[in-house]
Amino acid sequence: MDIQEQRQGNITILKPVGRLDSLSCREFETRLLAALDDNQAVAVDCAALDYISSAGLRVLLVAAKRNRAGGRLALAELRDNVREVFEISGFSAIFVIHPTVAAAVAALG
């Protein structure tokens, strides 16, 4: 999995490309938690995320827990198959999910 990263002011935009599963989630977890620990707000652009497994969901849950105070983590542009996983598993109730990255950045800013 490739992870693209860019900054917009105090906001880090992480874009995982491909599959977020047990084999690929460690690097994503490291980057995501490092940004949150560095007090940055993080928008995860899921437009190129093809697949998410249980292991990938756990990474997001750990990040949500790390972001306990709230307001520094947002997801955007979930594909239909990934959105379905979020809805069935109840993850959509834990995260703020935006239709576009621009909306996520605006909400975080």
In the bound state with other proteins, the residue whose beta carbon lies nearer, of 2 and 84, is 84
Label residue 8 exposed, middle or buried (CB < 10 Å: 0-12, 13-18, 19+): middle
Q: By CB under 8 A, what part of segment 65-84 binds other proteins?
A: 65, 68, 84
70: three-class secondary structure by DSSP: coil
- The single residue among 6, 10, 22, 30 that binds other proteins, judged by CB under 8 A, is 22
Q: How far is CA 71 from CA 78, 107, 108, in A?
A: 19, 8, 6
Task: Give yes or no for residue 27 binding other proteins (CB under 8 A).
Answer: no
Residue 64 to residue 72: CA distance in whole angstroms: 9
- The shares of helix, strand and coil residues in the chain, as percent rounded to the nearest 5, are 45, 30, 30
Task: Give yes or no for residue 93 binding other proteins (CB under 8 A).
Answer: yes
Part of the chain binding other proteins (CB under 8 A), chosen from 4-12, 31-39, 55-63, 101-109: 55-63
In the numeric block, which tokens belong to residue 40? Answer: 């940055």
- The single residue among 4, 58, 99, 100 that binds other proteins, judged by CB under 8 A, is 58
Q: By CB under 8 A, name the binding residues for other proteins.
A: 21-23, 51-55, 57-58, 61-62, 64-65, 68, 84-85, 88-91, 93-94
